Structure 1
Amino acid sequence: MTKRMNDNLPGVLNDAVDFVTNARKDNSGLASAVSEYMGKEGAVGIPEVRHRAHEAGLDGLLQGWRDAISKTPATEADIKTLIPHGVINRFARETGLSPDAVISGLASVVPGIVYRNARQAEAKQKPEVL
């Protein structure tokens, strides 16, 4: 993944720049980062997200994402519950996005990643048809 330079702007100014530049909708690099974290078999984030979902009573939310492609993004609160603060900040540093923009981007991509992971796991369990 190509890393961007951190912008080093104060919080409010960073938020304004995100708005003006549409960075809240620019997930460049973020999809790759989250894929590494929870989008590949054996990724460290998969058990972490499952555990955090279970602890917060969000097993049903994950199951819903596994069962069908979500037509709506996750909520900010769900993302903050499922993804540790330190991971969100790491994604922000790696992508050059503000933490709020990362959360917004994660809300868009996490349900789809959970769905894709479920489909891939399901496909691995089915016997091959000749």
Structure 2
Amino acid sequence: MRDKLFTTLFFLLIMSCSEEELPAGIYDYQVERLLSGSSESKSWNQLVNSSNCADSVILYVEAIGDSLDFSRLTYQNTCGEFDTTYIGRANASSEDDRNLFTDSLRFANGDFWLIKTITSEILTIEVEQSVLRYRSRN
């Protein structure tokens, strides 16, 4: 009986620590903080099915005031240095009166990314009907 109780409690603990969905009631600034990290910049490795460094993409997010700057880093041919492409400046969408995060990042040029999952370790976004998955580098 004791083993069954321990197993049940352990299972509940594991499930409560799950990082698979967007938390309910999260604020827009909390999403921005998760994206940019505690040091005001954060790198995210795109999860791809390849071991070739040339296929690796890094999403670099930097907090600039109350906005976020996004850049894409891809390895050059030698896999020792990066080419950097600036994506743009964005803010997390929110309800105007409560600052609760709605569902997306809105870029200054009108583009948006739909956030499917965000935790301190995992980021899943939908960009132009493609789902991209990232894992935190730092």
TM value normalised by structure 1: 0.26
More helix by share: 1
More strand by share: 2
TM value normalised by structure 2: 0.25
Larger-gyration structure (1/2): 2
Tell which has more relative contact order, 1 or 2 (C-alpha 8 A, sep 6+): 1
